[in-house]
Chain A
Amino acid sequence: MFTNAGTSSFTTFLSRAAPEMLPGRRPLPPGMAADLAPHATTIVAISAAGGVVMAGDRRATMGNLIAQRDIEKVHPADAYSLVGIAGTAGIGIELMRLFQVELEHYEKIEGAMLSLDGKANRLASMIRGNLGAAMQGLAVIPLFAGFDLAASDPARAGRIFSFDVTGGPYEETGYDAIGSGSIFARSALKKRFRAGLSIDDAARLAVEALYDAADDDTATGGPDLTRRIYPVVMTATAEGTHRLTDAETAAVAEAVVAGRMENPGG
């Protein structure tokens, strides 16, 4: 099973060795299943000078209920890329773990990292594999962003890819958002985004956009000052991926909330 010359792709290996572990391979009973499982909501990504910033709110919802207040939806995919998950939380987390293993596996087998476009294409094919479940309401839509080590201009090395339920991927210019609050987040970013933002400014802008999403979308959680639950903010730069510490995100979120005390519209 393990010793076939085989491929460098972990999902291809799994499809032969343990197909039941692939999210898209399970037979599903007919009917809509959209309200059965918690949904993860809004993720934003912004490209900045020398990298990219991705942030996600902390709320998961199930119908009109809040399923979890402190879910983490933005994760490092590997040393230089980030992935955020919106949609059915359970399948999304499984898909993201599989994607992380996929990238690490290729790197170990081949001794070299996949290109950023190669990573996005792998993720697209994994989303496509989930199409059957997506049509029954268990859709998962990721947002993928990373630092492109092969970019000729380091200032433009931060790249963002979005996907639809049938795969994709679509490269986005500047910024993008996914999830239930993405319309509001994207509208906010449209007015405020400037090319060549610093990483710190982009992090602040991401939290502002999430605040705007939470303002108008009940499924998106804003900064929770009483419980000290703040958005997850991660960066991917030439130094690799980095998650802002709780103290750093608290400072950004408190500054955003303080600003909204003066001007609720931002």
Chain B
Amino acid sequence: MAMQFYASPEQIMRDRSELARKGIARGRSAVVLSYSGGVLFVAENLSSTLHKVSEIYDRIGFAAVGRYNEFENLRRAGVRMADLNGLSYDRRDVTGLALANAYAQTLGAIFTEQSKPFEVEICVAEVGATPQDDALYRLTYDGSVNDEPGRMAMGGQADAIAGSLKSQHRPDMSLGEAVRLALAALSSVGGEGGAARTIAANQLEVAVLDRRRVGRTFRRITGAALTTLLDADADTDATNGSTSTEERPEHPATPTEEAKKPTTSAGSADLEGQQADDTPEA
């Protein structure tokens, strides 16, 4: 019979946290922030189909980093819960807070009960009538919830990215300003020796919850609309987000030589950007 070794609960929790934090810090980052016209999601994502950012309900969006299969499972669960509540009560009764609480319970239970915690960090964002009414909830692998002040960064070197967001983010930014700020923050880390690098438009996944729309507010911004927004000279309005909905760039997911990222498997998101292994954890 195998010998049973004693491990203190403290040690077990520490080991699980370390596993989850390492897994999350290995991936590429995502940024969520409020701007004048709504809530903006920007994630660095080489795939045009394996989304890190998605729609949950009319005014609620979802962004995640970490293992794709784990956060995809949580996303589906969120859509199911939101649709069930919306059908039982009314569409207005589906709130981001209820969803964040449900995610916190699920993640907390998985963290304490299962042998491996989920290596994910997620954001549940709800767009309000004004930027002050927006709610961004950060949910971490152990089930803790944080109400973020209008902006947040997750995954990879999240602390460094959050630092550069914090210094420049204003809730009254236009969509163009917000997208460029998010891109600048994402590309401020990860280059040679921790320097800034360039991220191409087709490696970004961008979506908004458009404050002014009624009904389903979630819109992806891709292709020409995104390129226009990234062009610093042409400061355009939030309506550009809805003009081009589904078109993707012609070469959507060409990995760059330095990225060394496999793009074939849905489960490989946790292997992203392995060159970042030696960087400090988020």
Contacts and interface: CB of A to CB of B under 8 A. Distances in A.
A101 B77 contact: no
Nearest to B79: A108
Interface string A90-104: 000000011001001
Contacts of A5: 73, 76
Nearest to A108: B79
B49 A2 contact: no
B88 interface: yes
B80 A13 contact: yes
B73 A3 contact: yes
Contact of A108 (B55, B88, B106): B55
Contacts of B78: 2
Interface string B158-199: 000000000000000000000000000000000000000000
Nearest to A10: B83
B87 interface: yes
Interface string B68-104: 0000011011111101101110000000000000100
Contact of B84 (A14, A109, A111): A14
B127 interface: no
Interface in A1-39: 2-3, 5-6, 10, 13-14, 17-18, 21
Contacts of B102: 2
Range, interface on chain B: 20 to 34
A109 B51 CA distance: 11
Given A3-B106, A14-B84, A111-B49, A105 B74 contact: no
A2 B83 contact: no
Interface string A75-99: 0000000000000000000000110
A101 B76 CA distance: 14
Contacts of B86: 101
A108 B77 contact: no
B83 A104 contact: yes
A18 B80 CA distance: 12
A21 B56 CA distance: 21
A6 B54 contact: no
A150 to B, nearest CB: 14
Given A3-B106, A108-B54, A17 B76 contact: no
A265 to B, nearest CB: 42
Interface in A89-147: 97-98, 101, 104-105, 108-109, 111
A112 to B, nearest CB: 9
Contacts of A18: 84, 88
Contacts of B54: 108, 111
Given A5-B73, A105-B83, 6 more contacts: A2-B78, A2-B80, A6-B80, A108-B79, A109-B76, A111-B49
